Amino acid sequence: MPELPDVETFRRYLGSTALHKTVEAVLALDEDLLEDVDGRTARRILTGVSLDEARRHGKRLFVCIGDRGWLVLHFGMTGELAYYRDGEPPAHTRLLLAVDDGYHLAFTNQRKFGSVSMADDVESYVARHDLGPDALEMEWPEFREALEGRRGAVKSTLMDQSILAGVGNVYADETCFQAHVRPDTKLRRLDTDRRRSVYRVMRRVLTTAIDRQADPDALPRTWLIGHRHEGDACPRCGGSVARTEVGGRSTYYCPDCQPAE
DNA sequence: ACGGATGTTATTAA
DNA sequence: ATTAATAACATCCG
């Protein structure tokens, strides 16, 4: 689930909940997900901090903790945030912060593909993890240059976090669908106009998804999302959705709306 | 019961 | 040297 629009939704959620609160205690910390620091250090760093600012780069959420740097949350395939007052923590809570209004902020991660880490600043984290520019921060010329010389499939390139950060499997398929490009099309087969079309569609897909809070039920019915099953009716032409693999990932597309090059 | 699953990364291949 | 493809990671769901 958590691709750029989902993480942006988490960022805004954090902004209306725990942001500007003070962490009174770290109630749980799953060290399996911790990177860069050990558990004892992380607890010490986080206790007593105020959550000053929330930023996003690609699929990562950065929370500024004053002069102690940044808390970095990576959601992996199954991460979520939950803010609640009473009761048990949600299932698979990996980090649980008690804040000074009596609420709790839980970071859950069912499949442990996510991570919790600390960074001195956003830029150093981004560099250390070899992340490209955020997909929504890229202007067309930067996007065009980033794709220059690429030979792989258009979908694989969109998903390559070192080229641009934020697009995952689902939104890569959605972008290809709305751009009428088959996901396995080699980039060298796309001229500048087609690349610009992919760029514009990608932006529209991501911003629209953010507007709908990345809620699959709130996304337009004309989108491929919600029809990610072989044989589903294409929401555009009524044809049959096909499944294949591109770069080892499940890929859905409409053979009629996305003709082979 | 087994195959898949929206993530990244290390390794291998080209 | 770059770039691309593959396997592996942990766990749950259908």
**Measured CA A7 to C1' C1 distance, in angstroms:** 35
Whether A227 sits with its Cβ under 7 A from any strand B atom: the answer reads no
Residue A56 contacts residue A109 (beta carbons within 8 Å): no
- pLDDT tens for A36-59 read 889 999 999 999 999 999 999 999
Question: Which residue places its CA closest to the C1' of nucleotide C8?
Answer: A113
Measure, in angstroms, how far nucleotide B4 C1' is from residue A145 CA. 35
Nucleotides of strand B lying closer than 7 angstroms to a protein CB:
4-9
Give pLDDT, residue A1.
67
d(CA A128, C1' C13) / Å: 34
Instruction: State residue A248's pLDDT score.
Output: 87
- Is residue A112 within 8 Å of residue A52, measured between CB atoms? no
Task: Answer whether any strand B atom is within 7 A of the Cβ of A133.
Answer: no
Position A244, amino acid: T
Q: Distance from first CA to last CA of chain A, Å, rounded?
A: 30
Q: Protein footprint on strand C: which nucleotides are under 7 Å from a CB?
A: 3-7, 9-12
- Asked if A58 CB < 7 A from strand B, the reply is yes
pTM of the prediction?
0.96
pLDDT of amino acid A32: 86
Report the pLDDT value the prediction gives residue A93, as an integer from 0 to 100. 92
> Average pLDDT per run of 10 along chain A, which is 261 residues long?
91 96 95 89 95 95 95 91 92 94 94 90 91 94 93 93 93 94 93 95 95 91 91 92 89 93 78
Query: Could you tell me the distance in Å between the CA of residue A147 and the C1' of nucleotide B8?
Result: 21
Residues of A with catalytic annotation? Answer: 2-3, 59, 249
Residue of A59, A20, A27, A61 lying closest to A42 (CA atoms): A27
- Segment A210-226, tens digit of pLDDT: 999 999 889 999 999 98
Does the CB of A161 fall within 7 Å of any strand B atom?
yes
Q: Is the CB of A21 under 7 A from strand B?
A: no
